[in-house]
């Protein structure tokens, strides 16, 4: 990526019209946010392509393309093939009215397809100048490592990043079919060892830190299917306790935890309103100690919480 990227990434899946998006996009950009996340499939159930067209219209109206970093994704099932991602890329570029993506990812994996075929097609996009880096979304550690090894053996550019789920609240059951978490210890260690960047989605737990007023209510909430476990209730409780000490919101603690992993992360946030965006931005001012992180990880019983 030639333009320095903001450490927060604004997800655009909730914005199908410029009227709805403009205020939030302008505010994010006004706070030095220049990293936007989109995908060919965003808005599919409402009006195919609407989210990418909305982002494209905003970019064109503000004249800011060269100041932005755009993450795009294609090849969502049932088009998780080299041919499918090639078609999606072409359509997405047209919708956004741009000549290139700063980083482009396969939105899902298809284990039946050898990793070399996916790496080869991504590198063909690089050579054509259609993308400036590539990666994979919702890929396992094993498949991603295989892709890295193949690229290295062929003298090809390595994947620049992975976009899997990571949040202080662990994903107990998949939110969507085929989605993958990077939350287990071995995967997090892999990011440290390889230097690969993680762009985590649902980094704030899809409302778990705002919609659940009391942590113990998680079990009976609408979020229970994906998030409920005794450990997650304890994580929510600790986030609430630390937030009270710091005089911030629990969601700020959760996002700060993602930002302060021992490897590079660019969390994707999904605010739908100005209030939600502004509450997310508050995490940028929260610095967690190593002891507090261990406590939030349930690896420590009695932290020394500092206001």
pLDDT per position as a tens digit, 71-120: 999 999 999 999 999 999 999 999 999 999 999 999 999 999 999 999 99
pLDDT at 212: 67
Task: Tell me the mean pLDDT in the region 29-49.
Answer: 95
Share of the chain above pLDDT 70, in %: 97
Residue 21 has pLDDT above 80, yes or no: yes
pLDDT per position as a tens digit, 115-153: 999 999 999 999 999 999 999 999 999 999 999 999 999
- Please state the pTM of the whole predicted model: 0.94
Higher pLDDT, 236 or 305: 236
Task: Tell me the mean pLDDT in the region 238-257.
Answer: 94
Q: Which domains does the chain have, with CATH numbers?
A: 9-212+261-284 (3.20.20.100)
pLDDT at 307: 62
> Nearest CA to 76 among 51, 55, 102?
51
Whole-angstrom distance, CA of residue 272 vs CA of residue 124: 35
3-class SS at 68? Answer: coil
Give the position of tokens 């050898």. Answer: 114
Angle between helices 18-30 and 274-281 (to 10 degrees): 20
Higher pLDDT, 207 or 11: 11
pLDDT per position as a tens digit, 66-81: 999 999 999 999 999 9
């Amino acid at each position: 990526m030639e333009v320095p990227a903001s450490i927060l990434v604004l997800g655009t899946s909730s914005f199908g019209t410029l009227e709805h998006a403009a205020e939030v996009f302008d505010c994010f950009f006004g706070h030095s946010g220049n990293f936007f996340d989109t995908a060919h499939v965003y808005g599919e159930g409402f009006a195919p392509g609407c989210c990418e067209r909305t982002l494209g219209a905003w970019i064109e109206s503000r004249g800011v393309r060269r100041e932005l970093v755009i993450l795009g994704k294609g090849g969502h099932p049932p088009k998780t093939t080299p041919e499918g991602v090639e078609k999606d890329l072409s359509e997405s570029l047209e919708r956004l009215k741009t000549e290139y993506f700063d980083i482009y990812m396969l939105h899902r994996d298809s284990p039946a397809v050898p990793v070399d075929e996916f790496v080869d097609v991504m590198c063909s996009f690089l050579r054509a100048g259609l993308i400036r880096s590539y990666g994979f979304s919702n890929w396992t550690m094993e498949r991603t490592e295989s892709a890295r090894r193949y690229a290295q053996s062929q003298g090809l550019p390595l994947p620049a990043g992975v976009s899997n789920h990571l949040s202080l609240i662990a994903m107990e059951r998949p939110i969507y079919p085929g989605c993958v978490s990077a939350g287990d210890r071995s995967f997090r260690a892999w990011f440290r060892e390889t230097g690969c960047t993680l762009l985590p989605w649902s980094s704030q737990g899809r409302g778990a830190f705002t919609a659940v007023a009391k942590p113990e209510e998680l079990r009976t909430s609408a979020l229970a299917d994906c998030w409920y476990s005794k450990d997650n209730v304890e994580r929510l409780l600790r986030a609430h306790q630390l937030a009270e000490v710091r005089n911030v919101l629990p969601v700020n603690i959760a996002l700060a935890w993602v930002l302060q992993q021992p490897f590079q992360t660019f969390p994707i946030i999904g605010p739908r309103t100005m209030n939600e965006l502004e509450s997310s931005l508050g995490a940028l001012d929260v610095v967690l100690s190593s002891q507090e992180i261990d406590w939030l990880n349930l690896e420590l019983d009695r932290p020394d919480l500092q206001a």
